[in-house]
Structure 1
């Protein structure tokens, strides 16, 4: 054996498994120190630790509640936005329908006005044609009257001085001319002149 082992054996040092078993005094003092430290920790440190944990738990729960509320508000906002979009679509459809109705009304009014204007133009043209026709008839009557008078003077060989007599001759000639049927050849020539 070595000198250190011999000295340990003489001093009453434990050997083998007894190396790991503490002495009774160490065990009592160790237990007392553990109990003092445990009481101090339980009395002072544990309440502070629990308070910090409770505060953290409250903050986490508050954060979760805020998150839940934010998600609900976001869902409400999305629903409101969808309602606003749908309302805007419906309003746009109503505006389009009103605009289409107004356009149809304006077109119908314009058509009525155009038809009325066309009718007025036709009436004006008809009255102008009638006036031109009457003016042409009067002009033709006077021209034919003059020609008839000249012809009558040449046939009779005298100058017709009596205006009443020449007027009657002209009127009779024109009446006969109006009642005389027009030959097809004369109608074709008159159409070609026009």
Structure 2
């Protein structure tokens, strides 16, 4: 208790507004040491960390801007290639149309020429077959006419010259009758 009384007596005698110099000195030394540590070690570490963060952010922005520029360039390239592809496709399509029209025209021309050739060949063949049929018909009709005339007349018409005259007259009469029928049939159609 004596001690606490001495402290109380000393405390009662001290002015509370006047600082204790030993406390101020210890506090100032502690603050100076703490300030030295902060300035020497902590502040540079924080500044370094801050600078690294700023550099990382700015670098990230630069990278993002570069990536955006590259993306825009690639997009422009892609769009240009797409437009070139469309143009090429249109050109190929037009060439194919032109070529198709040309092939179609050539095919029509060939078909027309082939058709004309076939018609001409058929007409020649028909004419040859008609001539052959007429010749065969003349021979057959002549033989029949000679036989019929022989039966009607009662004489043999085996003489070639005489039988030829009879056949020729008969065929001429047939042709005249046929021509007259055709002309009268055509005149009836015209009227």
TM bin (shorter chain): 0.7 to 0.9
Residue of 161, 169, 173 corresponding to 1:164: 161
Deviations 1:94-138 (A, max 9, x none): 232233333323322322232223222222322222122212221
Length-normalised TM-score, structure 1: 0.72
Larger deviation, residues 6-15 vs 140-149: 6-15
Matched, 1:10 2:35: no
Unmatched 5+ residue regions in structure 1?
A: 189-194
Structure 1 segments, 4+ long, off by >6 Å, are 3-6
Local SS of the residue matching 1:12 = helix
Matched, 1:131 2:146: no
Matched, 1:102 2:105: no
Matched, 1:76 2:73: yes
What residue is the counterpart of 1:55 in the other structure? 52
Output the CA distance in 2 between the equivalents of 1:13 and 1:87: 100
Larger deviation, residues 77-86 vs 40-49: 40-49
Q: CA deviation at 1:26?
A: 1.7
Local SS of the residue matching 1:82 = helix
Instruction: Summarize the alignment of residues 171-182 of structure 1 with structure 2, pairs less than 5 Å apart.
Output: 171-180=168-177, 182=179
Q: CA deviation at 1:183?
A: 5.2
Local SS of the residue matching 2:23 = helix
Q: From the superposition, tell whether residues 182 and 71 of structure 1 become closer, same or farther in structure 2 (CA, over 3 Å).
A: closer
Output the CA distance in 1 between the equivalents of 2:155 and 2:25: 184
Q: CA deviation at 1:29?
A: 3.3
More contact order relative to length (CA 8 Å, sep ≥ 6): 1
Local SS of the residue matching 1:11 = helix
What residue is the counterpart of 2:111 in the other structure? 114
Size of the aligned set, in residue pairs, is 183
Output the CA distance in 2 between the equivalents of 1:115 and 1:182: 35
Local SS of the residue matching 1:160 = coil
Q: CA deviation at 1:12?
A: 3.1
Output the CA distance in 2 between the equivalents of 1:9 and 1:164: 188
Deviations 1:73-112 (A, max 9, x none): 1222222222222222222222322333333233223222
Residue of 21, 24, 28 corresponding to 1:27: 24
